[in-house]
Structure 1
Amino acid sequence: MSLRYIHTEINESVALVRIERHEVLNALNLHLMNELVGELARLDADDSVRCMVVTGGPKAFAAGADILEMADATVVEMKQRNQFQVWDRLRQVRKPVIAAVNGFALGGGCELAMACDMIVAGEDAKFGQPEVKLGVMPGAGGTQRLTRLIGKNRALEMLLTGRPISADDALNMGLVNRVVPAETCVQEALSLAYEIAKQAPIAVQMIKEAANKALDVDLQTGMELERNAFYLLFATEDRSEGMKAFLDKRKPVFRGR
């Protein structure tokens, strides 16, 4: 299927998904988001793909939502549009998704990066939630994910002033995993993805699920979920292969079974 704003390359079990609406700094309109989430869902169902990297362009990962779609909208129109429904589908992606961020990741762009599982940032990246400057607030997880990632006080400073932060500040706050030279950002994200793709696919997916649940449940419930997932992995061929390879002092060959 031909996509207008999304371009995908697959190499060695890793998919690189590029957002290509560069004329408006990759502003996220409904068409683009439906294409992006649909493509991630397709890759999630593809057994040959084990990890995904989402990136934009050198100037912007995504500079925010498309304001033209909302400028004249009424409450009823926004409610009926239900534009955030597509964002909820991102949580259903089982495989790891890494954001490779160069340039601006503002508003919806910052929310999209945070919706991924890890963030590799170029040293020129800027992260922010400037919605307050437009008289609104984040609607795709900005107040929730940002607060969980960097704490309430720092999150509120970003949310209430609308000021962006640098990649180094984002690293110090725990918003991103690493900061690298801008020209190597995508390759660094791909290298991380290749490393993850070598691991046992079912274990990787269950680890992601358990870690995400840790944000939603109390410690005891989370521990029970973790242990049940641990036991279930003993039904996989990959668990047998991994342990046998360890005892044989060789590299395991994981098949996702």
Structure 2
Amino acid sequence: MSVVLTEKVLDGRALLITLNRPEARNAVNGQVAREMAAVLDDLDADPTLVVGIIRGEGKGFSAGMDLKAFLEGDVPAVDDRGFGGFAQRGPRTPLIAAIEGFAVAGGLEMALACDLIVAASDAKLGLPEVKRSLIAAGGGLLRLAQRIPYHVAAEIGLTGDPLSVERLYQVGLVNRVAEPGHALDEALALAAQLVDNAPLALEGTKYVLENAGDWGMEQGWEKQEPVMLRVSSSEDAREGATAFAERRPPVWRGR
């Protein structure tokens, strides 16, 4: 039985990805990681899809690693993709996390591996690993330290307690705050702002954004050059200019 479900939405231009282990609070085991990695490979391979939305079935997004499975030797990671099948190396296609209920431990790490985060106002987001004599090594500490003020990241990592969605919104970790039960609706509305954009440009923009912090400004100019040239010399770039001049919607072909 599949534990990661998919459905094309927004006229087939976005992929809704559902973690489907509600009886286990969508905890991540090896099967989840493998299926998620395969789904995200398919997302990148489908030129009609320009964004993915990840949600959890049931009461929450994900409680993180399936500890029972882990104790039995089940590894919730896939090669260089890392925890959950994408926490270390995600897809080229932008991802949006739609969080209801909770995203804790590895669940938050998967959300942090997404490019945009929508969370219900009453959701619990946190990294409780220190309470189990573990560290959040699935990218949680690394990404928090890069994206929000140090003392806020330290509070999350060192106390192990969740912070309110409102506070995480204020420090820029959450993009949209939704009414409870409407995180997916808000995520779909956000995805609708992406789907009309050129897929090659979205992919190139995501690549530069993901790496700019490591490159720094001086190296960044050099590193983004081939990305810019590949996108600006594409058929879609010519189509974008032509459509603008002709005052019509562009027709993207992903090449």
TM score, norm. by length of structure 2 = 0.91
Distance of aligned partners of 1:92 and 1:121 in 2 relative to their CA distance in 1, 3 Å threshold: closer
Give the Cα–Cα distance (whole angstroms) in 1 for the partners of residues 33 and 48 of structure 2: 24
SS at match of 1:99: strand
| Structure 1 residue aligned with 2:48 | 48
| Aligned residue among 179, 183, 193 for 1:195 | 193
In the alignment, what sits opposite 1:218? 216
Give me the CA root mean square deviation: 1.9
User: Shift of the alpha carbon at 1:184?
Assistant: 2.1
Q: 2:249 corresponds to which residue? A: 251
2:27 alignment counterpart:
27
Amino acid at match of 1:87: G
In 2, are the aligned partners of 1:51 and 1:194 still within 8 Å (CA)? no
CA contact (8 A) 1:84 1:139 kept: no
Partner SS, residue 48 of structure 2:
coil
* Further displaced range: 140-149 or 106-115: 140-149
More helix per residue: 1
- Distance apart, 1:171 and its partner CA: 0.4
Paired residue for 2:181? 183
8 Å CA contact 1:62–1:106 kept in 2: the answer is: yes
Aligned residue identity for 1:147: A
> Structure 1 133/92 Cα, relative in aligned 2: closer, same or farther at 3 Å?
closer
> How much has 1:58 moved relative to structure 2?
4.8
Distance (Å, rounded) in 2 between the aligned partners of 1:47 and 1:84: 24
Equivalenced residues, count: 249
CA deviations 1:64-104 (Å, max 9, x no partner) are 2111133476xxxx9xx584634276224111111101111
The equivalent of 2:240 in structure 1 is 242
1:100 matched residue in structure 2: 98
The normalised TM-score by structure 1 is 0.90
Cα separation, partners in 2 of 1:165 and 1:57, compared to 1, 3 Å = farther
* Structure 1 counterpart of 2:82: 87
2:19–2:26 Cα contact (<8 Å) kept: yes
By how many angstroms is 1:237 displaced? 1.1
Gaps of 5+ in 1: none
Question: How has the CA–CA distance of structure 1 residues 99 and 138 changed in structure 2, closer, same or farther, with 3 Å as cutoff?
Answer: same
Instruction: Return the offset for 1:189.
Output: 0.9
For the residue of structure 1 that corresponds to 2:155, the secondary structure is: helix
* Regions of 4+ moved over 6 Å: none
Question: How far has the Cα of 1:17 moved from its partner?
Answer: 0.5
Q: Unaligned regions of 5+ residues in structure 2, if any?
A: none
